[in-house]
Amino acid sequence: MVPISYYLVLSGILFACGVCGFLIKRNIITIFMSIELMLNGVNLSFVAFAAHWHQLAGQVFVFFVMVVAAAEAAVGLAIIIAVYRTRETLNIDQVNLLKL
């Protein structure tokens, strides 16, 4: 038997690592991966609460989060390719204009 708070602490650790990576990383792809890490941390807390309250709807929400993450990854990586094609760099410090 594992208390639900352990799951929540693990989910918090993953989310905090995602936030740190988002803030301190300079590579645009790594920043994008940090966002995926944050989504994973939230998914874990969804499933832990679903198990605690015996509500299956939490798992369906995780399914929807995964769908949105897949769509986001496809569009985001396409944007990264478009940015790299015009600027020849992946450093976020040199990408400071919205104009392509």
Partner 1 sequence: MLSIHLILFLAFGAVAAAGAINLLVQRHPINAALSLIAVMAALAGEYMLLGAEFVAAVQVIVYAGAIMVLFVFVIMLLNAGVEEQTKGSRVAIVFGVPGMLLGSLLIAWVVLKHSGTGDVAVGALPGAPNVIGQLLFHEFLLPFEVTSILILIAIMGAVVLASKPPVPGGGPAKKVQD
Binding site for partner 1 (CB under 8 A): 1-10, 12-14, 16-18, 20-21, 23-27, 29-30, 32-34, 36-37, 40, 43-44, 47-48, 50-52, 54, 56-57, 59-60, 62-64, 66-75, 77-82, 84-85, 90-91, 93
* Between 25 and 95, CB nearer to partner 1: 25
Looking at the DSSP bridge assignments, the partners of residue 91 are 27
CB of 44 to partner 1, least distance (A): 6
Task: Give the burial class of 18: count Cβ atoms within 10 A of its Cβ; 0-12 exposed, 13-18 middle, 19 or more buried.
Answer: buried
CB of 76 to partner 1, least distance (A): 9
CA–CA distance, 8 with 37 (Å, rounded to integer): 15
Continuous segment of H or E residues that includes residue 15: helix 4-24
